[in-house]
Amino acid sequence: MSELLQAIEIETKPKPSHSVIWLHGLGADGNDFVPIVQQLSLPPLGIRFVFPHAPMRPVTLNGGFVMRAWYDIVLQDLAMKEDESGLRQSQEMIEQLIAKEKSRGVPMSRIVIAGFSQGGVIALQTGLRQPQRLAGVMSLSAYLPLPSKIEKERNAANQNVPIFLGHGIADTMVPLSLGIASRDQLLKLGYDVDWHQYPMPHSVCAEELEDISAWLTRVLL
């Protein structure tokens, strides 16, 4: 078993009853989305936001430069050659964080797995394979990994989990077409997908934060 990821934690109230595990993108760290908490309109609940730091690893597409990454990227065409081993290793790391939240008294049904870019990929990779129902899965500016394997590997416990997908129409890092293809596959598999697209590049915008606030309120209450 790998070592538990280090993470930044923010609690909206003492003794939180709900948790949001939020994963950053390539080359960033857990600090990246910490300011988001104050920008969200959240329900009056005790929520623990967990912002883990991805491991340091060489990224092939960036000339082998070592940076924080949830998995390796080999080609510019992200879906062409995926780092399956890295994806599964990160899934295990997030499952350890889920187990930690459960050990602190937060049931699986009150845990949201969220992420941006690479983090959003790992949110889908992890969330759809869990043997107990999550509160929700949120994937921003990302895509569904290992699409040829999800139908066999998904767990029925999360067949009805709410899924928020947000994407920028001007995203040049993760093309909108890849996000749409992921949405369509999830819909075909019968998932409850809440799809949003915004006039933005590979980022997060104010309109998206409003939609995230509304979605989090719905799935956490």
Tell me, yes or no, if 117 is annotated catalytic: yes
Check 19, 117, 139, 141 and give the catalytic one: 117
| CB hemisphere CA count around 158 (13 angstroms) | 29
Mean pLDDT for the chain overall = 96
Q: According to the model, what pLDDT value does residue 75 have?
A: 80
Q: According to the model, what pLDDT value does residue 1 have?
A: 55
- What's the whole-number mean pLDDT along residues 68-79? 86
Q: pLDDT digit string (tens) for 11-65? A: 999 999 999 999 999 999 999 999 999 999 998 999 999 999 999 999 999 999 9
- What's the whole-number mean pLDDT along residues 195-216? 98
Residue 3 has pLDDT above 90, yes or no: no
Q: pLDDT digit string (tens) for 170-183? A: 999 999 999 999 99
Closest CA to 86 of 61, 104, 110: 61
Q: Residue 219 burial (CB < 10 Å; 0-12/13-18/19+)?
A: buried
- What's the whole-number mean pLDDT along residues 129-146? 98
Check 24, 139, 171, 182 and give the catalytic one: 171
| Domain segments of the chain as ranges | 7-220
Distance between CA 97 and CA 162 in Å, rounded?
20
Distance between CA 109 and CA 219 in Å, rounded?
9
Tell me, yes or no, if 171 is annotated catalytic: yes
Tell me, yes or no, if 139 is annotated catalytic: no
- What's the whole-number mean pLDDT along residues 94-106? 98
- What's the whole-number mean pLDDT along residues 138-165? 97
Distance between CA 137 and CA 158 in Å, rounded?
10
Check 53, 202, 203, 213 and give the catalytic one: 202
Q: Which CATH number, 1.20.58.100, 3.40.50.150, 3.90.600.10, 3.40.50.1820, labels domain 7-220?
A: 3.40.50.1820
